[in-house]
Structure 1
Amino acid sequence: MILQVGEPRSKEIGAMAVNDSVDPAAWLAEQLRTQDPDLLRSMVQTMAETLMSAEADSLCGAGYGERSSERTNRRNGYRTREWDTRAGTVELAIPKLRTGSYFPHWLLERRRRAEQALISVVATSYLLGVSTRRVDKLVEQLGIKHISKSQVSEMAKVLDGQVEAFRTRPLDAGPYAFVWLDALTQKVREGGRIINVHVLVATAVNNNGNREILGLEVTSAEDGAGWLTFLRGLVARGLSGVQLVTSDAHTGLTTAVAAALPGACWQRCRTHYLRNLLTCVPKSAQPWVATLVRTIFDQPTAEQVRTQHAWVIDALSAKYPAACDHLDAAREELLAFAAFPRETWRQIWSNNPQERLNKEIRRRTDVVGIFPDRGSIVRLIGAVLAEQTDEWTEARRYMGLDVLAKTRLRLIPGDTPQHNPLPQPLTA
């Protein structure tokens, strides 16, 4: 089946005999270019028009543009109708027939229930990896029967094309001064077994001060090779101007950052680091040690931050030498944030912004539990990330333009300052 949503809807152009198929990737690229703020509304429109096209093909006895002796009718352009849904008002192109008339009765009867069913088709397609048998059952809720396997597969391709276009779009809103990296573990069936795979996610602040999800990748192992491939892919798409990367001490990540983003500093997430540090002291002393370490980040200037760090090391040296050595070895990676404007510190010294995004991803993936394949992981998480990026585009700036200007100016005067070295990951 060919997705038939691309023919011009005006009467003048609609009467022309043109091929009304559309390239899904090109369609989504246009949505992203025009910064369509509501990806879900576009998906609902695409799915509804695909289902109507399938039903019209069934009434004609053959697919659009197909020569067949079994054909009983032909298409005759489109008419438009607005459809009010909770995803917004959707303008649908309803196929017209040469003989007789066609109108999807699910638009007339029980509109609200039909709209819920249609959105559930979109959502469940993501959640279930677009199982053709399951989607066929779901569209029956709309009164559309006998959707073939090839037609359901074509719907899946549309959804996959939208996510793939988001994942591979050019990163042309740089420079991206600050980048956050993280990894999530998901379960997937492969080769008759259930295995863990790792979803690598990168988020950044673009030149307009908005947060933007740069990309995601599914890897078998969370190692240096996976991180390096992921980062090089981002650079190839246009990632540039990175000054600081914030993350946990994932295996091989720091080496990959040094290789793919030369000149960028690495900030170890203070929240994750503190958890590791507290394993070096007795449980009874952990609240005191945690409070002591937090005073490092309460200082108003970079000089005082480093002074307080040295003081905390001295305070721990007598009773807890292991914690003292651990904190001393992590000095540069833990205090990298201090080289940047004070206004950015709370946003760049931890991975907490990324953690909030991870919670939203897990809220969706927990419904699935075990994914049928890796493609379904990319489909679901990619859709969540695309929606989140749209929301951030509409929201207020994450960082002010004046703050970003200060960040860039720090590299201009005199000699370029030496960046903090990228040490190997530390373990408690």
Structure 2
Amino acid sequence: MTTHPPQTAPSSLRRVVLSAFAGTSIEWYDFFLFGSAAALVFPQVFFPESEPGVGLLLSFMTYGVAFIVRPFGGIFFGFLGDVIGRKNVLIATLLLMGVGTFLIGLVPSFDVIGIWATVFLVLLRIIQGLGLGGEWGGAATLSAEHADGAGRSSSRGLLASWMQLGVPAGNLLAVGAMYVMQAVMPEDAFLAWGWRVPFLASAVLVAICFWMRAAVDESPLFDAEQREATPLRTMLRSHWRQVLITIGLRIASDVSYYVFAVFALSYIANTLELPASIGLTGVIVGCLLQFLVIPFSAHLSDRIGRRPVYIIGAVAVGVWSFIAWPLIGTGEPALAVAAIAVGIAAQGIMYGPMAAFITEMFGTRVRATGAGFGYQVAGILGGALAPFVAQLLTESFQTTFAVSIYVALTAVIAVIAAAVAKETTRKELA
């Protein structure tokens, strides 16, 4: 029997929201740092004996490994979140991601230890994937439940979107770090050791966020709820429809983001043979725009509903995919920057209400498990494959029009998923 949950004090809610933003930012900084390096550095450092195109594909495959293991992180840490608490899980995922990222900065190159360099790189990417797999479900659940505990359910979308801002913040830090290191160093020095500095610097950021998360209170709804002994089995038995909807909602968001934020970097630098700084600049501008788009779309979803806002975002991404790639193909730096930036901003329309939308679909006993599992499974079909599929389509058809169709098809899936989902804006989580 669920009892009335204790209330969350305003000061506690602020700590939760701020720590969710800071911790998620650092985890995504670690994650995206690998993506930027996969597009710009790893083909030369870890796959130097392969043809350039093959080396890039192999690099993207190591990048995608994390997406394959993220559902396992979502299941394991989601289970722990529903059994022992959301707060403890978020501390564990932060430390796991931090250790993996720091050690990547220490992996010797292929020229030093041969194939073992690639093996260590993949193993550490797996660690990153497990950590990030448990992060989203725990942070989204803790933020949404504290919002209800503070009597702010009418602003749940906006409050939960703070953790969503961690994605552009983390990507901005990652791309900015790579941009600076590449700009201030000769290319030989950058490839030899300069790219490692942002990975090693992650240790300092993780220590700061650990201190912040340790001060956060546990979810009042979790404390008041009877524990579920088998949340995964219960979730699959009673919430399978919500899991499928979550996967459908997520695919377009993942594909569009990683096509513009990762594949576009390699396409501009390797296919068009333009300065890599053009793609990096586009990603930076896009991330800055998301700081406006994400909270605005989340706030709008609190007013008019999650479903219509999400559908608007999916349509925007699908339409822009047919405009962006011809602009990038002109080779004009300003047009390429604008194409990438607008594509990332359009994805932010979907990403703003997503944390609230997904967590609201699940009951308290299985919320961390369900939200994390559905979100991360979609990552395999979306972000894990997106750069690889985009590269493969471009090489196979010798045109980026195939990439536009790919993104648009995932947008159609998202529209269908949002259309069949129940509106959850006014739902009480308790």
Do both proteins adopt the same fold according to a TM-score greater than 0.5, normalized to the shorter chain?
no
Question: What's the TM-score once normalised by structure 1's chain length?
Answer: 0.25
Question: What's the TM-score once normalised by structure 2's chain length?
Answer: 0.25
Which is higher, the Rg of structure 1 or of structure 2? 1
More strand by share: 1
